[in-house]
Amino acid sequence: MKIKRRHKEAAEVSTESLNDIMFFLLLFFLIISTLANPSVLKLTLPSSKPAEQVQKQQITIEVDANHQYVINKTPISFTDLENALKFEIAKTQSPTVVLKFDNTLSIQDLADVMQIGYGLGVKMVLATKATNK
């Protein structure tokens, strides 16, 4: 004789507390992420291998660690940089400005010079130092 059960017991997973656990995990990660200091960025200037010299009309702006600005081997102050750059741009057709910055300078110094170039509508390129291997 074969007897069948009327009530089969099914496996069940209790998920009532999972919502609370996920909420607390989300809250924990939000609090931890705000404690990290997001205003500090450590950046290193890029380096490259020596490449062929591009045969375009270039204007070179060099800035050393003492904030001394040089445009095409002519020393100039930062306040006169925009006018001198306008003068150099007027002498050439479709110039490219090559920026050579000392690696101890801050990114803000670079951004200040790039803002001047952006205002004048000139293409600017950041030069890198060749790695010695």
Q: Model confidence at 17, in pLDDT bands (50, 70, 90)?
A: confident
* 101 touches 68 (CB < 8 A): no
| pTM of this structure | 0.55
pLDDT of residue 103: 82
CATH topology of domain 47-130: Nucleotidyltransferase; domain 5 (3.30.420)
Give me the residue label for tokens 């992420």. Answer: 33
What is the predicted pLDDT for the residue at 69? 92
Q: Average pLDDT over the chain, rounded to whole?
A: 81
Structure confidence by residue, pLDDT tens digits, 38-97: 665 566 667 777 665 545 678 899 998 888 999 988 999 989 999 999 998 888 887 888
pLDDT computed for residue 91 by the predictor: 85
Using the predicted structure, report yes or no on whether residue 129 has a pLDDT greater than 70: no
Strands 96-101 and 47-48: unpaired
Stretch 16-24: mean pLDDT, rounded? 87
